[in-house]
A and B are shown apart, each in its own frame.
Chain A
Amino acid sequence: MEIREAIREERGMQVSLLNYRKDGTPHWILFRLFPIFEKEGGQLVHFVAVEVPIAGSRSCCSQSSARGGLMPGACRNEVRSELDLRCTLSVGSNNDLDNKVAEGEERREAGDMEKQKAIDGANEILLKLMHYSKLTGRVVCGNRCRPPEGTIPLPSSLCTSLGRIKQSFVLTDPNLPDMPIVYASDTFLSLTGYTRNEVLGRNCRFLGGPQTDVETLQLIRQSIQAEKACTVHILNYRKDGTQFRNFLHISPVRNSSGKIAFYVGVQIDEAAKDDAHGLCPRMKLLGAVGAVKVAVRSLSSSVGPSSCSSS
């Protein structure tokens, strides 16, 4: 439970745990968890868990310190951007030692030595990850860096839920100046040809161009001002300058405190061939809107204004 909470809140923690081996024998470990963030953008990339066996009170610790070297078990060489990637690295597994003392039923608390070992292990892994990440170009670090232009990255649990929605959509934050995009789906990026870094933090108006209908833009602006949803057909431009007819639905999305946290814009390229699922384009738009609304209501990821009013 404690671990789950820490993961949700994207912070580090440390706890003594009773674990069981495959053969059913119990063993106490000191479990140290810490997050790794992307240096640029501050997105969470990894959780690293370090496990140090806790020697029982009856055992002498000299043996375990003799084997003080770290043995990262399953370190991944490539640092991937997926949020869910969890990398468990076990440190110094002293199986023989532990078996002898495992019968003791008292709760074991980690001594200073184990704690130091966990910290050492954690630092070593962090250094390795930082080293590898430099090779792949996505630099990571142990502390969250300040993201660009004051935008706060969305909680990872929300990103995970949003990631399941495969349609083209963006979330914009009306509580920030000029309503910048704070989330863009992969389909949106492939539809428009931009990369994520090129769209995050910008207002959606870059999709418009010389032939975009001004009245339609006005209609969108009015709906947003009235905090209402609207559906429009609008001419938009990709990064390469080509046009596409965009069937667009925009709707306010409220968080668990009932305040408007985002506006969602869902897009369908009207020229795209329809897959024969039997759903009309409008249903596809609204289905995605519904899924976004459900995800943003999450209590654990209280996004947007919670106590302050959303004027």
Chain B
Amino acid sequence: MSEITKTDVVIIGAGPVGLFAVFELGLYDLKCHLIDILDRPGGQCAELYPEKPIYDIPAWPEISGQGLTDKLMEQIKPFAPQFHFNRMVTRLERQPDGQFHVETDEGEVFETKVVVIAAGGGSFQPKRPPVPGIEAFEGKSVFYSVRRMEEFRDEDVLIVGGGDSALDWALNLQPIARSLTVVHRRAEFRAAPDSVKKMFELVERGSVRFELGQVSGLTGEGGQLSSATIKAAEGETEIPVTRLLPFFGLTMKLGPVADWGLNLHENLVQVNVETFETSEPGIFAIGDINWYPGKLKLILSGFHEAALMTQAAKRIVSPGEKVVFQYTTSSTSLQKKLGVA
């Protein structure tokens, strides 16, 4: 078992609300670790609309999703938050001493006094293509990412999609695969022009097969694929396939949060509006993932929720200590924490 990381607060989700929570918690000396399934901070702002202007952030008449993320990262820098990207929190368990064990899919374990769920619309997960019966092959023959290239050695690999992931893996796996086929629904690719060029060179040499169309059927037994049917304008063809890699982008799913015994309201986490605590003491939920009467899914609402949550979180981490409310404009102690005094 890996070493246990001890902290005051684990924040699940590094979107704008999770990031701002670091600031509010930091003013009260609470140290944070953030865990996010994406490979960078910003959540939906960074993944879905980095360049899209947002017009309802107070005092910013217009700011892009990426711009907002960058500003928040700058704002929370004094508090040195620790980020853990490309990870999903899979387990959350209360220990006999009242603290929580938070476990990720990479096996890391955190011991924390407070958990803040700021997971927005849920975790980004790969989209499953509309192929009947594909579920039965997942994890054995169908993979949505490449964790170990060796699993593809001497296999008949089929890659579906037209983006960078699809083409990068086609180029990387071609030398070790027995055969490699790329299927895309159109002749244009969304990938780096250089990768597209390289792939078509391989197609020309006969090392990669390219089919215009969609995968319409899979056959195999016991989770082991043996062939796939490709549907194109001119009809269907069946090709031998033992490994399938579909790259259809990401979608948001509530994921493991649903299994933590929290009271839910239509797939959102119910909270107390005074503290933003869930039905489990010590576990908070802020931002788009929570629900309370009158809830609005706005970034600014999430910021407000982060500030109120902090008051309650501080009482849990430092019981008996008086929680003094102060302004950053006038408090020397807050200014010291921010590194400006």
Do the two chains belong together in a single complex?
no
Chain B interfacial positions (CB closer than 8 Å to A): none
